[in-house]
């Protein structure tokens, strides 16, 4: 069983590591940012409601995101057994909701992977991506706002998961491969522990 979450600031490598880890463990990679960008591209009601928040680097309202994740993980009444979440939960409201839902559905997380990268490196990576490919929120002002929103709203989740004994802190600098190997090494005791706890 593998239910984990990537908790890290913009540019830390959630998407990059998320794809690799999900493929290795054979679980779906559920990135709320990607799901929301898909809604924006398709012009759905959710996409229209989310777009201005995303373009400004603000969070999309909790209830919209929670409903979107529930539709995906809830899987028409047959909740997915395993998954790797990227970018959710991102507020204490979302985290509390996920925990209650997880307890009710026997789907609590085994591990919360936190990638630690210095702020100047985060900005460097995102400014570079903005130049190369250009996500609409990869401009310097919006990047600063995303980092600020992370500190205000998402960093408090560290204490929430630390208290539950499932937080894994990983140095997110170095090559992509090095970071993956650090994560895998750190996951071993958490996944073994979950196998015995059930």
CB 166 to ligand AP5: min, Å:
18
Q: Look-up: residue for tokens 């560290």?
A: 158
Task: Select which of 48, 96, 135, 164 is catalytic.
Answer: 135
Q: 8 vs 15, 98, 108, 148, CA distance in Å? A: 10, 17, 19, 13
Q: Please identify, using beta-carbon distances, which residue of 19 and 191 lies nearer to Mg ion.
A: 19
Residue 110 binds which entry of ligand AP5, Mg ion, none, CB below 5-8 Å type-dependent: none
Known catalytic residue: 182? no
Q: Please identify, using beta-carbon distances, which residue of 168 and 179 lies nearer to ligand AP5.
A: 179
| Helix axes 62-74 and 92-104, enclosed angle (nearest 10) | 30
Separation CA 165–CA 82 (nearest Å): 19
Q: What is the binding site for ligand AP5 (CB under 6 A)? A: 8, 10-16, 32-33, 36, 53-54, 57-60, 65, 87-88, 90, 94, 125, 129, 137, 146, 175-176, 179
Residues recorded for the chain: 198
Separation CA 113–CA 176 (nearest Å): 15
What residues are labeled active site?
14, 90, 129, 135, 146
């Amino acid at each position: 069983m593998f239910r984990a979450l990537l908790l890290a600031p913009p540019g830390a490598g959630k998407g990059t590591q998320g794809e690799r880890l999900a493929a290795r463990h054979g679980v779906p990679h559920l990135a709320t940012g990607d799901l929301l960008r898909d809604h924006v591209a398709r012009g759905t009601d959710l996409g229209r409601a989310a777009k201005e928040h995303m373009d400004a680097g603000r969070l999309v309202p909790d209830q919209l995101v929670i409903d979107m994740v529930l539709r995906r993980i809830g899987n028409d009444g047959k909740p997915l057994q395993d998954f790797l979440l990227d970018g959710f939960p991102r507020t204490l409201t979302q985290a509390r909701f996920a925990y209650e839902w997880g307890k009710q559905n026997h789907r609590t997380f085994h591990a919360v992977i936190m990638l630690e990268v210095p702020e100047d490196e985060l900005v460097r990576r995102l400014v570079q991506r903005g130049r190369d490919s250009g996500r609409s929120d990869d401009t310097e002002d919006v990047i600063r706002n995303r980092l600020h929103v992370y500190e205000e709203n998402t960093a408090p989740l560290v204490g929430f998961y630390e208290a539950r004994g499932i937080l894994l802190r990983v140095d997110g600098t170095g090559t992509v491969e090095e970071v993956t190997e650090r994560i895998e090494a750190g996951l071993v005791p958490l996944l073994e522990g979950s196998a015995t706890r059930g």
